[in-house]
Structure 1
Amino acid sequence: MKPLLSILLLAATLLSLTACNTVAGVGQDLKAGGQAITNAADKSK
């Protein structure tokens, strides 16, 4: 039972680390998109 619990804990840890990187990447993409919209709005003034 203990080895199974260790494997499940390791898998959960790896999945959570992957999710953090994915969320950070999405945040960077949204920031870049917002900056592009801001720049376009400034140029059209």
Structure 2
Amino acid sequence: MLQKLVILGFLGALLTACNTVEGVGEDVQAGGRAVERSADSVQKKM
């Protein structure tokens, strides 16, 4: 469930904030950080 929210949030940010190449890079970084936090959270539960 959390992964779906992360993906939706990333896609929403990508569609609304990608006015420049720099914006795309920032969006990709933010998405990567969200995925990393999600993976860390899952590993802590194991």
TM range (shorter): 0.5 to 0.7
Q: CA RMSD in A?
A: 1.1
Runs ≥4 in structure 1, deviation > 2 angstroms? none
Q: Which runs of 5+ in 1 are unaligned?
A: 1-17
Q: Percent identity?
A: 11
TM-score with structure 1 setting the length: 0.60
Return the structure number with greater relative CO, CA threshold 8 A, min gap 6.
2
Count of matched residue pairs: 28
Q: Which runs of 5+ in 2 are unaligned?
A: 1-18
Bigger proportion of residues as helix = 1
Larger radius of gyration: 1
TM-score with structure 2 setting the length: 0.58
